[in-house]
Structures are given as structure tokens and as C-alpha cells.
Amino acid sequence: MNDEIKQWIYRYIDAYHTVTRRVNARIRESIDEGLTGEQFQILRLIDGQPCCTSTYLSEALCVGKSSITAMINRLAEAGIIERTRDENDRRLVYLTITENGRGIYQTAEEKVLEVISPYLTNFDKDKVEQFITMFERLAELMQEPGGRSE
């Protein structure tokens, strides 16, 4: 591996850690709904997936099923989400946001948007679009075996 690639990797790692730590800290401070950042992300994923399962969440968040189960249990006990069994296959359990959870999620979402939007407005619209497109492409590559698209 050449030195230029090493430098790119180190710069990426340094910037990634700084951004994620600071954004997560600011999100945690802003969400006074009693949600953690991970719980907010779970609600966001459930909201965007018509038939959301714990397996989907586990894969999307790259965490073990036991960790997801514990998080789901806490959200269910708090009345934020509910479980519904599939009528045709009782093994399948779908997760949905309750009416109470919807209000909590929407309030938290507004606060997250307020935290992140000032940073993005420091850049031209085309630069933000380019950055997000490239970052999404990196995310796609990370999901491919060996990090390469076929």
C-alpha cells in the first residue's frame, strides 16, 4: 500500500471519528425524549421499513440479534414500539412505532435535524450533494464482499 493511500485512510479515520463523536454527543444532548442515539436510529429504521423485523435492524446496524432484542425490549416496555406477529407465519414479528412513540420520534427527529443542518449549510448545495453521494457509495462498497463492487 502506498503512502498516499495510507494518508487518505488516516485522514478518513480521523475525520470520521471526530464527526461521529461530536454529532452523536450533540444529538444525545438535544434529545430530551429519553432516547439514546441508537434508539433514535432504530425508530428511524422502523419508520422507513413497512414490515420491519429485528433481523433487519440487526443487519442494518451491524449488531448482534441479542443486542437488538434488548433495545427492542426497552422500547416496547416504554410503549414506544409494539410487536405484531405475521398472520401467515407466526415466527415473523413486525415492529411498528406506537402513537406515543410517533410523537417522541417526531420531536427527536426535529431536534436531530436542528443539530445537523447548521453544519451542512456551511457548504454549497452541490458540494453537500457530492459529499453525501460519495459517502453513500462508500457505504455500498462496505456492504460488498471484499469492499469491491462486482
pLDDT in tens, 32-70: 667 888 899 999 999 999 899 999 999 999 899 999 999
Dump pLDDT digits (tens) for 67-110.
999 999 999 999 999 999 988 888 899 999 999 999 999 999 99
Dump pLDDT digits (tens) for 121-143.
999 999 999 999 999 999 889 88
Task: Report the C-alpha gap between 64 and 116 in whole angstroms.
Answer: 28
Q: How many distinct helices (H) and strands (E) make up the chain?
A: 6, 2
Q: Would the pLDDT of 144 be above 90? A: no
User: Band of the pLDDT at 148, cuts 50, 70, 90?
Assistant: low
In this prediction, residues 114-123 reach a mean pLDDT of 91
Give the pLDDT score at 146: 66
Q: Would the pLDDT of 147 be above 60? A: no
Task: Report the C-alpha gap between 9 and 17 in whole angstroms.
Answer: 12
User: Band of the pLDDT at 1, cuts 50, 70, 90?
Assistant: confident
Task: Report the C-alpha gap between 84 and 74 in whole angstroms.
Answer: 16
Cβ pair 92, 53 in contact under 8 A: yes
How many angstroms separate the first and last alpha carbons of the chain? 22
Q: Would the pLDDT of 31 be above 90? A: no
Task: Report the C-alpha gap between 62 and 75 in whole angstroms.
Answer: 19
Show the domains of the chain with their CATH numbers. Answer: 3-145 (1.10.10.10)
Residues forming beta bridges with residue 85, ordered by sequence position: 93
Q: Where are the beta strands (DSSP E) in the chain?
A: 81-85, 93-97
